[in-house]
Amino acid sequence: TMKRRVLFIVMAMFLLSGFSKMAAQTTADDLKGVWQMCFYMSSDPNLPGDLKPSNSFKILSDDGKFTNMTVIPNKGAIIIGSGTYKLTAPNAFTEHVEKNLHLPQLVGVDNVLEFEMKGDGVMMVKFFVKKDAEGNEINSWYYETWKKVLMPAVYPKDLVR
């Protein structure tokens, strides 16, 4: 009947619109900004717990440059890595590392970072490191959790500058 056809078409359109949203690709604009490294903390070994911020930040600039920095409590901030980056796949960006204090073996390397956007501004990242700083083969995956830093609507009353 006509009602069934209309209902079928409406349902098909609803499903297709849902799938198109699920397939939405990350763009280079989605990566740009300031990201704070986070970690999960829990008192229960069977649960990941709550996402907690760390003192490390990644800045992915509009001009294709990245800067990694860490805040040392009561001392100030230092830059620990820098270079350029480019979105190279729907779920990966490549950092060309120019300087890196933490992982000096990556200097001069194109480091591919696979990522997954988890919602609520959280990005899970993993990358492979073949050798340690001394040149020994470690063939290890590094996993990191980053949360995008956003500007609040109003100035926080409890902010200490």
pLDDT in tens, 15-26: 444 433 444 688
**DSSP string across 104-120:** GGGTT-EEEEEEEEEET
Tokens of 133: 């700083």
CA distance 58 to 81: 9
d(CA 41, CA 38): 10
3-state secondary structure of 68: strand
Cβ proximity of 93 and 87 under 8 Å: yes
- Residue 1's pLDDT band (cuts 50, 70, 90): low
pTM of the model: 0.82
Separation CA 39–CA 56 (nearest Å): 11
pLDDT of 26-64, one tens digit each?
888 999 999 999 999 999 999 989 999 999 999 999 999
